[in-house]
Chains A and B, each alone.
Chain A
Amino acid sequence: MSNHFTLDGVTVPFTTGQTIMDAALKAGIYIPHLCHNPEFKPHGSCRLCTVNVNGRNVAACTTPAAEGLEIENETHEITTQRRLLLKLLFVEGNHVCPACEKSGACQLQAVAYHCGMLAPEFVHFYPKRAVDASHPETIIDFNRCILCELCVRASHDIDKKSVFTISGRGIHSHLTINSPSGKLGDSDFTASDKAARVCPVGAILPKHKGYNKPIGKRLYDQAPISQVGDVAQHQEATDE
């Protein structure tokens, strides 16, 4: 056999140039991820898709698939690792799920359920971050930003506007908006931009609607993320 690897014992075919993530998605196997979206160049920053390849830990989204790899994905050890990574993302920002418009359709929350994360445990950072409500159609709540850079990539690669940039370094890294005042309302952004529909969490949200789906009917209430997939593709569908 050529061009196959195994993922948790399951044989997965791939074509040359595909990453482990590409091939797994194609085969309908879920590898938890947040910063990955197949429409964009792989990023490899959230590290949630870290899998074990022949004893080495690598990000599935940036690692090329290769013949005969033996890959572990949903082992006890890796799931524990993922829970920890998720906890880090939760304590770094300010996430109050019960009050969040994205709750139930949020990928961070859904992956956390998938991995069995119950409480963040680590000390919360409680960063002081502002909300930007300056734009007529869209609101940005930086408290929930996980620095996946999907909006950065969408605005740069597809909208050709470069509305978003990451600034700062280390724990001070943050999303900034390219406009004279630094406010979204002052930028070229519009709600029809690709960048408006790629946020996996509740950081970039449409204005004038919220909580419009009752609990039980929300995206990830119906079925787990391992079956439903990324929220971005559903954001695309609802808008059309």
Chain B
Amino acid sequence: MMDDDAQQTELGMSNLAGKEPFNLLQGLIALQHKHHYIPSDELERLAAASGISETHITSVIDFYGFLHTMPHGEYEILFSDNITDQMQGSHLLADLLSKGLGVAIGTTREDLRVSLDYTSCIGMGDQSPAALINGQTITRLTPSRIDQIIQLIESSTPLQQWPEELFVVDGKAQRKAIVLDTEYTSAAAIQACLDKGAEAVFNQLEQAGLRGGGGAGFSTASKWRLCASAAAEKRFVVCNADEGEPGTFKDRFLLQSHADRLIEGMTLCAAAIGANSGFIYLRGEYRYLLESLQSALDQRRNKCLLGDAILGHNDFNFDITIHLGAGAYICGEESALIESLEGKRGIPRSRPPFPVTQGYNGLPTVVNNVETFCNAAMIIQQGPEWYRQVGTPASPGTKLLSISGDCDHPGIYEFPFGTTITEILSCCGAHQTMAVQVGGAAGRLVSKSEFNRTIAFEDIPTGGSFIIFNQSRELLRAIENFTQFFQHESCGFCTPCRVGTSLLVKQLNKVMVGHATTKDLEEMSILSSLMKKTSHCGLGQTAANPILDGLGKFPKLFQSRLRATSFEPAFDLDASLEEARQLTGRDDPNAHLEGGGV
């Protein structure tokens, strides 16, 4: 038997400074990281130590994309499978790697040296194609980098000894506006709150008109006020750094290059609402940022900006714990995120009650996006007029965009709200643009005729993803990619999204292979509208957007692939005989049916 300390380390609790209670998900992530799977003896041990049944633990493992109970390779490689990666040739590169290493995609090599698979967008759209290797990010893949990786793996070179240039993630902004151009002054916002009080902070955020950067655009002042006024012993501050929306990577940039602003913003929130603990929920795909974030927290602890008696105020204690995600887009939804923070499967809760009154452990919780906290800190530092000097009346200030796809300079751009799509396109060097997907897979497909529209909550709202398609692209591929993404990421809780996302994938596939009829298109749009109206959370409500926008704005894409008939069977009788043919070793004409379907 291990002593308690060893056990805590074993369960991945060491980073919690021994203060936090046991957390199942974080424990599982640590085991997965160590063994590249969760071995059954570890599972038994975990069950015995925690008193949680093995079945329950397995149900959590089976929910998260990055956790498994079957052995995986010593090197576990996951190719980012966003449309932007595909546009940069990621599938060809994955095939090269697959051939070179002799391992089929989606499998583990027999000698357990290497596993290869795809994963949802890993947030590297400006430096794609990208992949994760044992949780570390490799960017800008090329055929020669693939050769290099093959050699490193075949020679069993430990990951720590791989050339550093493979792991470089660029952390610069392409365009700065007021927020990124203004210097951050350490502790200015926290000091202001301690001096002037919480109400002054809420008022200033309200005057600034700050709205959430995660996409929904809820008033930050209202959220903080609601949480502060909820009667409770304890409150929590949670930073949503799950950034799973395909094509979004602006939070990655902030976490990497402006962690101090984020921590300042969270500490400001804590001071204003009266919280002692906070969490950064960092998506598993950004594990490469874990160390730098930990050290940013440590530095602030050393400077009395975090921990006990912050800035010498004996009654202001606040600390932050980082929790990792494990490959589940739904955990970006705030109530699913809280479930995940509690160590459970990330199933969105019923609302009301909202997190501001009943969040983490049932206590009032502010959940804000990374950008929101950073902006809150800067607004309190600079004053509300500073923020309001740009933007529109309904959407003051600026927005960080993650620009990827067909343009000369993909990357991070800060634009005032109210900027037109045309201006953005010309700024990032986009040519012959056919369409832009604004707001990620859950966002909207914007066609050329709408490029005079603007980025703003009252026009085209966005969490920050901006994917450009030029005229050479097959938009249907993007629509298919997004639709598959939602099928993969649906949590499965409610009927319309769980079943609907799968049906949409099937029907879209029928279109792609040229078997669909007008009836199938009708069925797709009926299903899409059902999902929008009846799904339990935002995922299901937006999952059909790509198809609805495609059908609405680019109907020819679909119609040109239709069969002339009004009905085409979904069931191919001849194809279904294939298994029997293989079993009997026959392939003569009599073993086939003419015409196919019934």
Name A residues whose Cβ lies closer than 8 Å to a Cβ of B: 42, 44-48, 50, 57, 59, 62, 64, 81, 84-85, 88-89, 91-92, 121-123, 125, 147, 162, 165-173, 176-180, 182
| Stretch of B423-431, B532-540, B586-594 at the chain-chain interface | B532-540
Among B64, B352, B502, B526, the residue within 8 A (CB) of A64 is B352
Q: Contact at A170–B488, with CB atoms within 8 Å?
A: yes
Q: Contact at A169–B506, with CB atoms within 8 Å?
A: no
Identity of the chain B residue whose Cβ is nearest the Cβ of A90 in the assembled complex: B499
- A169 and B495 in contact, given A81-B530, A177-B55 (Cβ under 8 angstroms): no
B residues contacting the other copy or chain, number (CB 8 A): 41
In chain B between 524 and 552, which residues have their CB closer than 8 angstroms to a CB of chain A?
526-527, 530, 533-536
Identity of the chain B residue whose Cβ is nearest the Cβ of A61 in the assembled complex: B350
Once the chains are docked, how many angstroms separate the CA of A62 from the CA of B494? 13
Smallest beta-carbon distance A136→chain B, Å:
21
- A171 and B498 in contact, given A178-B53, A178-B56 (Cβ under 8 angstroms): yes
Q: Contact at B489–A170, with CB atoms within 8 Å?
A: yes
Among A84, A89, A123, A170, the residue within 8 A (CB) of B492 is A170
Identity of the chain B residue whose Cβ is nearest the Cβ of A34 in the assembled complex: B495
Smallest beta-carbon distance A214→chain B, Å:
32
Residue among B54, B496, B535 facing the most chain A CB atoms (10 A cut-off)? B496
User: B500 at interface (Cβ–Cβ under 8 A)?
Assistant: yes
User: B467 at interface (Cβ–Cβ under 8 A)?
Assistant: no
- Can you offer 7 A-B residue contacts whose CB atoms are under 8 A? A89-B495, A166-B345, A168-B63, A170-B488, A172-B62, A176-B55, A180-B54
Once the chains are docked, how many angstroms separate the CA of A147 from the CA of B499? 12
Q: Contact at A44–B62, with CB atoms within 8 Å?
A: no
Which chain B positions have C-beta within 8 A of A165? 53, 55-56, 59
- A162 and B534 in contact, given A64-B352, A169-B492, A173-B492 (Cβ under 8 angstroms): no
Which 10 pairs, one residue from A and one from B, show the smallest C-beta to C-beta distance? A173-B492, A167-B59, A88-B499, A178-B55, A170-B490, A62-B350, A123-B570, A170-B492, A47-B534, A168-B62
Q: Contact at A46–B499, with CB atoms within 8 Å?
A: no
Q: Contact at A147–B534, with CB atoms within 8 Å?
A: no
Which chain B positions have C-beta within 8 A of A64? 352
User: B157 at interface (Cβ–Cβ under 8 A)?
Assistant: no
Identity of the chain A residue whose Cβ is nearest the Cβ of B353 in the assembled complex: A64
Which chain A positions have C-beta within 8 A of B311? none
Which chain B positions have C-beta within 8 A of A147? 492, 498
Q: Contact at A122–B503, with CB atoms within 8 Å?
A: yes
Given A165-B55, A169-B62, list of 20 further CB < 8 A pairs?
A45-B494, A48-B495, A50-B534, A57-B534, A64-B352, A84-B530, A85-B534, A88-B496, A121-B523, A165-B59, A166-B492, A167-B55, A167-B58, A167-B59, A167-B63, A170-B491, A171-B498, A173-B492, A173-B498, A178-B53
Identity of the chain A residue whose Cβ is nearest the Cβ of B327 in the assembled complex: A169
Q: Contact at A84–B526, with CB atoms within 8 Å?
A: yes
Smallest beta-carbon distance A26→chain B, Å:
20
- A169 and B499 in contact, given A81-B530, A122-B523 (Cβ under 8 angstroms): no
Once the chains are docked, how many angstroms separate the CA of A190 from the CA of B118? 43
Name B residues whose Cβ lies closer than 8 Å to a Cβ of A: 53-56, 58-59, 62-65, 328, 345, 350, 352, 487-496, 498-503, 506, 523, 526-527, 530, 533-536, 570-571
Which chain A positions have C-beta within 8 A of B536? 44-45, 47, 59
- A170 and B487 in contact, given A64-B352, A88-B503 (Cβ under 8 angstroms): yes
Once the chains are docked, how many angstroms separate the CA of A81 from the CA of B531? 10
Which secondary structure dominates chain B's binding surface? helix
Which chain A positions have C-beta within 8 A of B506? 123
Which chain A positions have C-beta within 8 A of B491? 169-170, 173
Which chain A positions have C-beta within 8 A of B493? 45, 173
Residue among A50, A85, A88, A125 facing the most chain B CB atoms (10 A cut-off)? A88
Once the chains are docked, how many angstroms separate the CA of A88 from the CA of B352? 27
Smallest beta-carbon distance A22→chain B, Å:
14
- A171 and B55 in contact, given A44-B494, A89-B495 (Cβ under 8 angstroms): no
Identity of the chain B residue whose Cβ is nearest the Cβ of A92 in the assembled complex: B499
Once the chains are docked, how many angstroms separate the CA of A125 from the CA of B499? 10
Among A45, A88, A162, A178, the residue within 8 A (CB) of B500 is A88
Smallest beta-carbon distance B160→chain A, Å:
32
Once the chains are docked, how many angstroms separate the CA of A176 from the CA of B56? 9
Q: Contact at A170–B501, with CB atoms within 8 Å?
A: yes
Once the chains are docked, how many angstroms separate the CA of A39 from the CA of B503? 33
Q: Contact at A169–B58, with CB atoms within 8 Å?
A: no
Smallest beta-carbon distance B516→chain A, Å:
12
Once the chains are docked, how many angstroms separate the CA of A168 from the CA of B347? 11
Which chain B positions have C-beta within 8 A of A122? 503, 523
Which chain A positions have C-beta within 8 A of B496? 47, 85, 88
Which chain B positions have C-beta within 8 A of A62? 350
Among B55, B489, B499, B502, the residue within 8 A (CB) of A182 is B55
Which chain A positions have C-beta within 8 A of B53? 162, 165, 178
Among A167, A171, A180, the residue within 8 A (CB) of B499 is A171
Once the chains are docked, how many angstroms separate the CA of A171 from the CA of B55? 19
Smallest beta-carbon distance A71→chain B, Å:
15
Identity of the chain A residue whose Cβ is nearest the Cβ of B59 in the assembled complex: A167
Once the chains are docked, how many angstroms separate the CA of A93 from the CA of B4? 46
Residue among A46, A92, A123, A177 facing the most chain B CB atoms (10 A cut-off)? A123
Once the chains are docked, how many angstroms separate the CA of A211 from the CA of B411? 66
Q: Contact at A171–B534, with CB atoms within 8 Å?
A: no
Once the chains are docked, how many angstroms separate the CA of A84 from the CA of B536? 16
Once the chains are docked, how many angstroms separate the CA of A122 from the CA of B352? 33
Which chain A positions have C-beta within 8 A of B54? 180
Q: Contact at B56–A162, with CB atoms within 8 Å?
A: yes
Which chain B positions have C-beta within 8 A of A169? 62-65, 328, 345, 490-492
Smallest beta-carbon distance A80→chain B, Å:
9
Q: Contact at B494–A47, with CB atoms within 8 Å?
A: yes
Once the chains are docked, how many angstroms separate the CA of A143 from the CA of B87? 40
- A170 and B498 in contact, given A123-B570, A178-B53 (Cβ under 8 angstroms): yes
Which chain B positions have C-beta within 8 A of A59? 350, 536
Residue among B501, B502, B535 facing the most chain A CB atoms (10 A cut-off)? B502
Smallest beta-carbon distance A169→chain B, Å:
5
Q: Contact at B530–A166, with CB atoms within 8 Å?
A: no
Which chain A positions have C-beta within 8 A of B500? 88
Which chain A positions have C-beta within 8 A of B533? 50, 57, 81
